[in-house]
Structure 1
Amino acid sequence: MDRAWKGLQKAGFIFLSLSLLVYTLYDIDFLEIDEENTLLGYIAWPNTPSVPPPVSLNDTSNAAHSNFVILPRPGGGSWLVGDQLEVMINMFDFKGRPKTHGGDFLLTRLRNRKLKAGVAGQVVDHLNGTYSAVFSLPWEGKSEVEVTLVHPSEAIPFLQRFAGEKPDGVDFYSTFQSGSLTENTTCSVCLPPTQQPQCNYTDLNTGELWFCYKPQNMSCDARISHFVTNHKPVKAKEDILFKHGVTMNVGIPASGPAHVTVSPKNKGQLSAKSNKDIPGPVGYYYKGLWSSLSGSTVKRFNSASAISQCLKDKVVHMYGDSTVRQWFEFLSGELSDLKVYNLHNLKQCGPYLALDYAQKIFVTFRCHGLPVRIVPSPVTELRYVANELDGITGGKNTVVVIGVWAHFTTFPIKYYIRRLMSIRKAVFRLLARAPETRIIIRTANLKQSPTPFSVLFSDWPSLQRDKILRTMFQGMDVYFVDAWEMTVAHYRKHNIHPPHPIIKNMIDVVLSYVCP
């Protein structure tokens, strides 16, 4: 493989695409290729008419000119708890002309501020400039519909191109050290061939790719740490499509009332006929507490003793990014007898170990391995989740938490699919040898997009990876914490690291799976 790699370099390729690397260096069978194509088809976004850059603002979807209308209750009468509310959204451009194609990225929510109640709406694109948003009505009282244009359809092609062929927006480096010699070189899943040789750090077990330019006077074995320096603002002619409050993250007004009043359903009253083809939400907030609509019951663990009782005699392994580390930090903060040991490593990647000797509670956290956007960290601690899962014995007292998404949004989607495939295989192996192991998967969540990094931190790539994650683990004996809907429905501002009230509700869901 090293000989072939050098041959490609000598052939003068300007850039070797990630797709070629994936297919040649991973041990992939045709079934996996078919699944990948199916997944790519599943997340395919409606096409936007091709317009040569620069894109005209006049032709772009405009929230201020657009509107939504609450449709009457089917069959008439007052809205009842348990009904399905439908809203029609009509999109217009900056000149006030109706849009004739779909592809806008919209988020919808029904909320009651006084009750701290909220539920996410399900959006259907009719591909003609109109959209439907469907809401469940789980509580009574007066509630407000909110519709947000996250990205106009004209911005999506740029987001598709960004990181579509290669990682973009973040520079990764490694430090090499030998005696008094120290050198930093660039690293990634694929590097443009130059006269400088490359070090191949592809994982032999999982096939996960990673390369670094070789330092001039050191061997590839001298690599000691991994880091990023900063995020790069993405500059393009399409910048106008990523202006907060103008073309991005803008509320769409109602044409008519934006509120509905929901009455309790009396005995014998029937719910309004609902659209069976549109999946309902997984849950909702009421008085700040998350409840499930999928059949499972969310219990409340409001004291340290309740949490300790649930986790007694349990081993909990957490693997993922900083959004999973938040769960570890929550548990270690709530349980005074859970003593945390950071093993002298940096906060971002761990590993962490926490122990309550009396209750026999053992909790660990480790970051998911490359790629991670962190301050300098030892490469010895950057271990892939699949390899870690293969080292777990498992059993009825073992809980495994996995959250892999945020650091992959600047990488091609095929790279993310391959990472999940390797994790899924390891989950299969773990459940085969220890079927009583409880495996909990955290989905992606909404995040704030700070200027000038609106492209880099866009929620659209997160949505695509969220869909991929759910689909790939669907039907397996795993449990999901739906961080996406839990952040859409909540009244707090979006943040890549959800605030404490949301984390508390997430932990209630996790512990309800552990102790049903």
Structure 2
Amino acid sequence: MERILPKYFPFFTMLALIGLIFLLRNITSLEHWTCQTVSTFHQLQNSIQSALKTSEMVLPEKFNYSYCVHLGQKPSAEETREESNLLKSIAWPEPLVLGLPLRQSSDPAQSYYIIQNSGDLQVGGQLVAKVQMQNFIGQPKKHGGDFLVARLHTPELRAGVAGQVHDHRDGNYTVFFPLLWVGVVQVELTMVHSSEAIMVLRRLREEQSDRVFFKSLFRSGYLSETTVCNLCLSVNQQPLCNYTDPQTGETWNCYKPKMLDCETRINHSKGGYKKHLLTVYESQFFQSGINIKMPIHAAGIENVIVQPASKEQIKEKNLEYIPSGYYYQGLWRSLSGVTMRQFNDSSAITQCLRGKMVYMYGDSTVRQLYEYLIANVPEFKEFSFHSPKNVGPHMAVDSSDNILLRYRCHGPPIRFTSVYAAEMHYISNELDALRGGSDTVILISIWSHFSTFPVQVFIRRLRHIRRAVIRLLNREPATLVLLRTANLQKLDPESSLYNSDWFSQQLDMVLRTMFKGLNVHLVDAWEMMLAHHHPHELHPPPAIISNMINCILSHICPVRRKRRRS
């Protein structure tokens, strides 16, 4: 017997291994095992999976993503023309010669501006500054394309307004500032990126749309796998799970797990950021303290005195640029049609929102507004859905005043930590499910999570949202719809490649154009951030958020004009 065992030992070992694998693959169907036994086999299963590397994520491979912009429902001829016009409207000037060395690129330290009209300035007029961009060897630039932002401000009055930059495409720029208050005002001019850096960002947007990648967990019983997901994935690497939305045609894909079905998907989350995106040459244009968000100083005076308007001066006429609003004494004063009111305490907010249902859809910048209301109105009671705080969905109710607040994130792509797949709803579908009416307020913010994708992807998403907004307003014209725009944020060499203000500005221009002419209202977060003295942040500080809330509530509860007596 002892002589026979060695002879058949490999055979019995193979049978035992086959039986063990069969047992592990079918462990989920065994319902009567003790918890300890199941736990033991679960640990063993995970160990075997780790050894065989069956549950590891497959990182994105390099391939051409240009066809991704054509995914989804085919646009009509009119929509195709609109897309073409939108892309032309945001086209960015290119350098005359590509591949210039760093010493010939824009140097904010050697560039300068000159105030053109420093004398006899009055409220209602405008200040004009001329900008000359120079390179690192002190020579004037011969082409445009630098991304500049500007504001005019008076620190003592906590007053500020955004300026408008006009690119002459020859290294010269003109900045226009409306004069809206009396006192000493000073110019603040910033180069966010050089024209050379913009070319790199444009390349990344078109060629590396997966530089932020996503993942999903798949699970069935005690068997689980995680795979990479994105808008566009290579079919050559492994089979795909297609999660195209049946109503909008919006596409989303994950690599299919090796041992599980596509129907076993549990969640969606941010996978990570691809590294080493730039060449050594390209990285020179992204240096903190040198050419990312650096000030440009005046060659001469930087402060001027603004006098009160004379009787002959007509306010806000013949201006090159009229902003959506400005700050004075720290409060936002709108110039876009709504009369601003101040809601300084919880009772004022409650009175305005009484009988209203407020639906907030989008990213964390609109969730921030939801959180502000919850924190400042103690009457709101939140319902727990066991949702992560930073993800949602969230709902709060003030039952005595009949107020409902709801927040839900927009559909993929979204870079949240973990969202249940069942909670991934597209905004357009949510809008189609609403009744609407005078008691309904819609607030949408969607921009930041699209910064890594070609602009066509964002246009397609906005097209679906716009269609849903039109349908909603057609069935209930009294519904109030507000769009929160993009805003500037803090940048360093790494974050610039994923979340640059240039990406945000491009998306913001598209959003404004696509919703122009509709009965929707903007909460101009871009200008409210740019005009404020606070440093740029993705999530603005309470001083700016409170002004946004006042803007929103001023639309919900407008100032009633007194009727003239006949």
Instruction: Give TM-score scaled by structure 1 length.
Output: 0.93
Tell me if 1:39 matches 2:86: yes
Tell me if 1:236 matches 2:279: yes
1:44-74 per-residue CA deviation (whole Å, 9 max, x = no partner) reads 011212323xx4111101111111011125x
Task: Output the amino acid matched with 1:68.
Answer: Y
Is the contact made by 1:368 and 1:382 (CA closer than 8 Å) also made in structure 2?
yes
Q: In 1, distance between residues paired with 2:384 and 2:545?
A: 21
1:117 matched residue in structure 2: 159
Task: Output the amino acid matched with 1:397.
Answer: D
Q: SS of the residue aligned with 1:62?
A: coil
Q: SS of the residue aligned with 2:326?
A: strand
Task: Output the amino acid matched with 2:103.
Answer: N
Q: SS of the residue aligned with 1:58?
A: helix
Q: SS of the residue aligned with 2:529?
A: helix
Higher strand share: 1
1:316-355 → structure 2 map (5 Å cutoff): 316-355=358-397
1:290-305 → structure 2 map (5 Å cutoff): 290-305=332-347
Q: Structure 1 residue 450: deviation in Å?
A: 3.6
1:27 matched residue in structure 2: 74
1:28-67 → structure 2 map (5 Å cutoff): 28-52=75-99, 55-67=100-112
Is the contact made by 2:124 and 2:317 (CA closer than 8 Å) also made in structure 1?
no
2:45 matched residue in structure 1: none
Higher helix share: 2
1:258 matched residue in structure 2: 302
Q: Say which of 481, 487, 496 aligns to 1:454.
A: 496
Q: SS of the residue aligned with 1:212?
A: strand
Q: Say which of 236, 241, 251 aligns to 1:199.
A: 241
Q: Structure 1 residue 270: deviation in Å?
A: 2.3
Q: In 1, distance between residues paired with 2:76 and 2:317?
A: 42
Q: SS of the residue aligned with 2:131?
A: strand
Task: Output the amino acid matched with 1:43.
Answer: I
Task: Output the amino acid matched with 1:50.
Answer: V
Q: In 1, distance between residues paired with 2:480 and 2:312?
A: 40
Tell me if 1:248 matches 2:295: no
Is the contact made by 2:293 and 2:491 (CA closer than 8 Å) also made in structure 1?
no
Q: In 1, distance between residues paired with 2:442 and 2:325?
A: 23
Task: Output the amino acid matched with 1:315.
Answer: M
Q: In 2, distance between residues paired with 1:272 and 1:58?
A: 45
Q: Structure 1 residue 415: deviation in Å?
A: 0.4
Number of matched pairs: 496
Q: In 2, distance between residues paired with 1:261 and 1:66?
A: 24
Task: Output the amino acid matched with 1:293.
Answer: L
Q: Say which of 175, 185, 189 aligns to 1:133.
A: 175
213-222 or 26-35, which deviates more: 26-35
Q: In 2, distance between residues paired with 1:392 and 1:70?
A: 52
Q: SS of the residue aligned with 1:202?
A: coil
Is the contact made by 1:242 and 1:455 (CA closer than 8 Å) also made in structure 2?
no
Change beyond 3 A, Cα 1:180–1:94: same
360-369 or 224-233, which deviates more: 224-233
Q: SS of the residue aligned with 2:78?
A: helix
Task: Output the amino acid matched with 2:305.
Answer: T
Change beyond 3 A, Cα 1:135–1:366: same
Q: SS of the residue aligned with 2:284?
A: helix
Q: Structure 1 residue 208: deviation in Å?
A: 0.7
Change beyond 3 A, Cα 1:456–1:290: same
Tell me if 1:162 matches 2:210: no
Change beyond 3 A, Cα 1:130–1:272: farther
2:113 matched residue in structure 1: 68
Q: SS of the residue aligned with 1:363?
A: strand
1:408-434 per-residue CA deviation (whole Å, 9 max, x = no partner) reads 001111100000000000001100111
Q: Structure 1 residue 86: deviation in Å?
A: 0.5
Task: Output the amino acid matched with 1:210.
Answer: W
Q: CA RMSD in A?
A: 1.7
Task: Output the amino acid matched with 1:313.
Answer: G
1:153 matched residue in structure 2: 195
Tell me if 1:17 matches 2:65: yes
Q: In 1, distance between residues paired with 2:438 and 2:82?
A: 31
Gaps of 5+ in 1: 1-12
Tell me if 1:86 matches 2:131: no
Q: Structure 1 residue 446: deviation in Å?
A: 0.3
Q: Structure 1 residue 231: deviation in Å?
A: 3.0
Is the contact made by 1:172 and 1:187 (CA closer than 8 Å) also made in structure 2?
yes
Q: Structure 1 residue 265: deviation in Å?
A: 1.8
Q: In 2, distance between residues paired with 1:60 and 1:50?
A: 11
Change beyond 3 A, Cα 1:195–1:136: closer
Task: Output the amino acid matched with 2:329.
Answer: K
Q: In 2, distance between residues paired with 1:354 and 1:425?
A: 28
Task: Output the amino acid matched with 2:292.
Answer: M
Q: In 1, distance between residues paired with 2:496 and 2:86?
A: 26
Identity between Structure 1 and Structure 2 (%): 45
1:7 matched residue in structure 2: none
Q: Structure 1 residue 145: deviation in Å?
A: 0.3
Q: SS of the residue aligned with 1:308?
A: helix
1:479 matched residue in structure 2: 521
Is the contact made by 2:214 and 2:272 (CA closer than 8 Å) also made in structure 1?
no
Is the contact made by 2:267 and 2:419 (CA closer than 8 Å) also made in structure 1?
yes
1:393-414 per-residue CA deviation (whole Å, 9 max, x = no partner) reads 0000100000000100011111
Task: Output the amino acid matched with 2:110.
Answer: H
2:221 matched residue in structure 1: 179
Is the contact made by 2:316 and 2:322 (CA closer than 8 Å) also made in structure 1?
no
Q: Say which of 261, 266, 283 aligns to 1:219.
A: 261
Change beyond 3 A, Cα 1:275–1:71: farther
Is the contact made by 1:232 and 1:453 (CA closer than 8 Å) also made in structure 2?
no
Q: Say which of 294, 305, 310 aligns to 2:352.
A: 310
Q: In 1, distance between residues paired with 2:142 and 2:97?
A: 14
Q: In 2, distance between residues paired with 1:479 and 1:273?
A: 21
Q: SS of the residue aligned with 1:64?
A: coil
Is the contact made by 2:179 and 2:306 (CA closer than 8 Å) also made in structure 1?
yes
Is the contact made by 2:445 and 2:484 (CA closer than 8 Å) also made in structure 1?
yes
Q: In 2, distance between residues paired with 1:496 and 1:360?
A: 32
Tell me if 1:361 matches 2:417: no
- Return the index of the structure with the highest Cα Rg: 2
Q: In 2, distance between residues paired with 1:174 and 1:50?
A: 43
1:9 matched residue in structure 2: none
Is the contact made by 1:67 and 1:91 (CA closer than 8 Å) also made in structure 2?
yes
Q: SS of the residue aligned with 1:455?
A: helix
1:189 matched residue in structure 2: 231
1:482-514 per-residue CA deviation (whole Å, 9 max, x = no partner) reads 000000000001000000000000000000011
Change beyond 3 A, Cα 1:24–1:294: closer
Q: In 2, distance between residues paired with 1:134 and 1:274?
A: 14
Task: Output the amino acid matched with 1:472.
Answer: M
Q: In 2, distance between residues paired with 1:469 and 1:161?
A: 22
Is the contact made by 1:80 and 1:271 (CA closer than 8 Å) also made in structure 2?
no
